[in-house]
Amino acid sequence: MNKPVVIITGSSSGFGLLAAIEFSKQGYFVIATMRDLHKQEHILQRIELNTMEDHIRFAEVDVTNSNSLDSLKNILHDVGHVDVLINNAGFATGGFAEEVSLQEYKSQFETNFFGVIEITKLVLPFMRKQGNGKILNLSSISGQIGFPGLSPYVSSKFALEGWSECLRLEVNPFGIDVALIEPGSFQTNIWSSGKKVAEKSLLPSSPYHQIMKKIEAKLEKDKEKYGDPMEVVRLLVNLAEAPKLTKLRYPIGQGVKTGILLKSMVPWKIWEKFVLRAIGR
């Protein structure tokens, strides 16, 4: 294999789907993983089929299930090296902490946190032996800023940020770069099929019902303003192409850098008021 190789998890929709298409156009050999291989059609419809074998292979992977990794392992064995790993698979669980079950928290972490660890551990031996590689972890603005009604998602991304920071320091001496991509809100399925809300917080009997409704209404209203996911995909390609990733964090999207900067600068009391006012409290 003389092409650069990229693995993208969760490539059946959103950033992952668009990244699989874009990286193959840019001359990469793409290993596109997804839970349901029927969804590979979404990619196949949009790339040059006659050259597909040279550009892309699909592996059925549920990042929460270690037993589902065999096809990815086989492809890795055939290909023999990995230049870029994009840990993209993820979803968002909302709800108020008092009403989110432990199982709902665990399920959120299984995908957004432990899933990333599992796939990374599979790829690290290849990158370490090669003496190079890039690991791009899809975090979120929610990896730096907490928001009421979103603690499962936010805490999974905060955990991912802490883990990635340690990993970067551990593997940098082996020539491997680790970076966090921190998007704001972009138009993908994470706001529809990729979103779960703790059932209890949706019930009219919930003490959080009114505020949950306000948050949901705000999300719905803002949807049209969400960014074009290709912006994030272009950032991923640029990072993959860069000789060295000098930063750990790459925030992207409207208001994201300003939000992170503000949080780091203003006293907590003011920040808190600002966040609560955004949801009408």
Ligand X SMILES: NC(=O)c1ccc[n+]([C@@H]2O[C@H](COP(=O)([O-])OP(=O)(O)OC[C@H]3O[C@@H](n4cnc5c(N)ncnc54)[C@H](OP(=O)(O)O)[C@@H]3O)[C@@H](O)[C@H]2O)c1
Residues at the site binding ligand X, with contacts judged by CB under 6 A: 9-10, 12-16, 34-36, 39, 61-64, 88-91, 111, 115, 138, 140, 183, 185-186, 188-190, 194
**In the annotation, is 226 catalytic?**
no
Rank residues 34 and 178 by Cβ distance to ligand X and give the closer one: 34
- Selecting among 153, 208, 226, 250, the annotated active-site residue is 153
CB of 71 to ligand X, least distance (A): 13
Distance, in Å, from the CA atom of 83 to the CA atom of 164, rounded to the nearest integer, reads 18
CB of 195 to ligand X, least distance (A): 8
CB of 185 to ligand X, least distance (A): 4
Residue whose C-beta lies closest to ligand X: 14
Rank residues 68 and 132 by Cβ distance to ligand X and give the closer one: 68
User: What residues pair up with 7 in beta bridges, in sequence order?
Assistant: 31, 85
Handedness of CA 202, 204, 205, 206 (dihedral sign): positive
Rank residues 178 and 206 by Cβ distance to ligand X and give the closer one: 178
Rank residues 155 and 185 by Cβ distance to ligand X and give the closer one: 185
CB of 175 to ligand X, least distance (A): 26
Which of the residues are catalytic? 153
